[in-house]
Amino acid sequence: MINAASRLQPTQVPVPRHIFVTGGVVSSLGKGLTAASLGRLLRARGISVVMQKLDPYINVDPGTMNPFQHGEVFVTDDGSETDLDIGHYERFLDVNLSGKANATTGQVYSTVIAKERRGEYLGDTVQVIPHITDEIKRVMRAQAEPDDDGNLPDVIITEIGGTVGDIESQPFLEAARQVRADLGRDNVAFVHVSLIPFLPAAGELKTKPTQHSVASLRNIGIQPDALVLRTDRHLPEGIKGKVALMCDVDRDAVVECKDAASIYEVPPTLHREGLDAYLVQRLGLTFRDVDWTEWNSLLERVHAPKHRLEVALVGKYVDLHDAYLSVSEAIRHGGFANHARVDIRWVASDVCETPEGAQRALAGVDAIVVPGGFGVRGIEGKVGALRWAREHRVPTLGLCLGLQCMVIEAARNLLGLSAASSTEMEPETPDPVVATMDSQRQILHGDGNLGGTMRLGSYPAVLTEGSIVAETYGTNEVSERHRHRFEVNNDYRERLASVGLRVSGTSPDGRLTEFVELDRSQHPYYVATQAHPEFRSRPTRAHPLFAALVRAGLDRRREVYASHRRGEHVVPGDEPAECFTTASSDSGDTINYADACSDDADNE
């Protein structure tokens, strides 16, 4: 029997409205991008928005999950390991979120069980309803609390992971239904993202999967207020009308969202379809017209680039691009900042273990990014890729493990310490240039939990005056997000500096290496950070390290093309792979690479 006290009382309800985003038919329809785009639209109307993602899996957080299964782990400022959709939210809304933005079944059950052990339920039989659903509701409405300045958000947008009909999602959907009952129907809206497939054999678009998906929602007491129909082609008005009729949704609330060339096209697509206007009216929100100034400038850079270049991303998990989602987006942001389209060459680090393999995999690229990762596999390939980049003077940025591999490569090939390694891969190495952080030793020896125990979240760093990174940031004090257990061994700092690889940024107490770089006389841009700057990059405000990398890549491309035009010898592997051909951009326009590489090309 449900305890009446478990319901939120109307007099206790905070002001913020609540929008729930659900998905049906199949997974990977883009619920996260839909939620992020809707949040962007509402913010552009002057409405304050906070975002949230609820994941039905039993893991407490994605921190210990296989990247091939889950994709990247997105780290927030407060050190929470969250779902990659939190990254979409931060990038689209240009906000910094906290751990409250992501919750899982594992977290909910852990909290409820802990309360039961403390006797907080006073002997009640603990059940999914009301105890689990009450905890889910508490998590949902936690975002309604005032911020540090005492301001309440106008709207909370909560994305419920999974697909309607999944067993795992049922408690979350039931909790969302109860929130509507608690807050009142005028204060809650449901947006359902569904699929309208096209059957080539029949030559028809089919609405039945969406009808069944909505029927499943209605079976548990949720009537969607708006439908976002994912499709690979334009939907005729008759299809939209049929869906509206069969699903009992207002015709104005049936929205087409066709596949787009860029994810940054989704907000204007939803706006043209009227989704934001409908929901603003539906929830009775005060608003202004959408200010498109910033986003239109972004779309111009996305679809009408003045330059083009290719950046290699050398990683362990490249078979699943979502494992490096924030890295790949940050690289593209660097392109936007330089009016350039960046083509990413996905390179499996394993193939770069030998000089010949690295040459085949990396020849012709304009810049290289070596991102983070864990474990032994692929490490030697990252070291091989970095050696190739250093010797060929290709602009390079290392992230987290990329910094550690940069140190290992320099120790082996510049210092002559052939056995140099990290204690993560070689515990007995005679030259541990990278070693376990003191705070992590007991955990790695089995005396603690692996989940949530790394050096996580934002930490400050002090940059060396006159260094490349200080010049790039435009300041000597920065703060970046971290996720690591290992650090550069301070015993090797001076010896590494003697061969050109110097520590150019440390923790404020000087104990932890945060940045390294190769001297300008040896390389134009060979920089690495122990942090994850990709988490702070925005499409309208690229992270300085990525913007500088792309700028260095464009400079190199022009230099190589100029040498070729003068008839000078170009070292094999140095020439841009397609510098003398043409190709199509996202917008379908033709870009001439010779123009893109010329000395006269604009590079603002």
534 is catalytic: yes
- Single-letter residue type at 311: V
φ/ψ of residue 69, rounded to 5: -90, -35
Strands 81-82 and 513-518: unpaired
Beta carbons within 10 angstroms of residue 127's beta carbon: 13
Q: Catalytic one among 18, 534, 564, 579?
A: 534
Q: Catalytic one among 70, 88, 532, 564?
A: 532
Sign of CA dihedral 355, 360, 366, 367: negative
Q: Angle at the Cα of 15 (from 76 to 19), degrees rounded to 5? A: 60
DSSP 497-565: HHTTEEEEEE-TTS-SEEEEEE-TTT-SSEEEESS-GGGG-BTTB--HHHHHHHHHHHHHHHHHHHHHH
- Conformation bin of residue 206: beta by default, left when phi > 0, alpha when psi is -120 to 50: beta
In this structure, the chain runs to a length of: 604
Detail the residues annotated as belonging to a binding site for Mg(2+): 85, 159
Distance CA 548, CA 520 (A): 14
Q: Catalytic one among 247, 257, 352, 400?
A: 400
Helices (H) and strands (E) in the chain, counts: 20, 25
Beta carbons within 10 angstroms of residue 197's beta carbon: 16
Detail the residues annotated as belonging to a binding site: 27-33, 85, 159, 166-168, 206-211, 242, 258-260, 373, 401-404, 424, 485
Q: Give residues with Cβ within 8 angstroms of 438, minimum separation 6.
A: none
Distance CA 370, CA 348 (A): 11
Beta carbons within 10 angstroms of residue 511's beta carbon: 11
φ/ψ of residue 471, rounded to 5: -65, -40
Q: What number of CA atoms fall less than 13 Å from residue 351's CA on the CB side?
A: 16
Annotated active-site positions, please? 400, 532, 534
